[in-house]
Amino acid sequence: MLRASEIIGTNAHLSLLPDPLHPVLTFSSTTMSGLQISRDLGSVTITITASGTAVATGVSIKTSILQDIVTGLSSFANKADLLILAAGGTVPRLVMTNVVLYIDRSLSSASLQAGGLQVSFS
């Protein structure tokens, strides 16, 4: 799961191919505040947090379409951006607040710079 108080992404695009049930949300670059990434492994949860602003390029998040829609409705600053993404368009500047993205498939980035990066196990 990826949580952030704010994500500002450039050139956001939602690709439904090759698997329309698990689309890929991509950004050419993003700036994230309050970043927290966690993964429950059953007996332990790994959490990565950044105390400063995180900047990433080439970001790709693959999740289920239902989770994307739920997240979009609750966190997109401009609800019309969700419609543009759903129609296969690209949003030049996507702003999301109080973000919770369920990463049930994959998360990747070409680069990530994050201040105060910490890893914890619970």
Q: Residues 10-29: what's their mean pLDDT? A: 89
Q: What is the pLDDT of residues 26-71, one digit of tens each?
A: 999 999 999 999 998 899 999 999 999 999 999 998 877 656 566 6
Reported as a pLDDT band with limits 50, 70 and 90, residue 121 is very high
Backbone angles phi, psi at 75, to 5 degrees: -120, -15
Say what the pLDDT of residue 103 is: 81
By the 8 A CB rule, do 6 and 97 touch? Answer: yes
Q: What is the pLDDT of residues 66-94, one digit of tens each?
A: 565 666 668 888 989 988 988 889 999 99
For the entire predicted model, the pTM comes to 0.86
